[in-house]
């Protein structure tokens, strides 16, 4: 009986550790997604700025 209780306690502790690892993994995934989004936004803004500069150059040469 005590062995069973001890095992149940260990199982609960392992369950908690698994949950913590899953939470950490989810946080990491979220951070990577945010980083990816930030990079995409920066790339888009950079591309847009280049396009505007090219247009200004064309306008000046016209």
Kind and range of the H or E run holding 28: helix 2-61
Domain that holds residue 50: 1-62
Question: pLDDT at position 34, please?
Answer: 93
Question: How many separate domains does the chain show?
Answer: 1
Question: pLDDT at position 62, please?
Answer: 78
Residue 50: CB atoms within 10 A of its CB come to: 10
pLDDT in tens, 4-61: 999 999 999 999 999 999 999 999 999 999 999 999 999 999 999 999 999 999 998 8
Question: pLDDT at position 61, please?
Answer: 87
State both tokens at 56.
């200004």
Q: How many CA atoms lie within 13 Å of 27's alpha carbon, on the beta-carbon side?
A: 6
CA distance 54 to 48: 10
């Amino acid at each position: 009986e005590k062995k069973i209780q001890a095992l149940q306690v260990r199982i609960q502790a392992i369950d908690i550790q698994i949950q913590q690892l899953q939470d950490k993994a989810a946080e990491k995934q979220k951070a990577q997604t945010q980083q990816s989004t930030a990079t995409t936004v920066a790339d888009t803004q950079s591309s847009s700025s280049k396009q505007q500069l090219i247009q200004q150059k064309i306008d000046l040469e016209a």
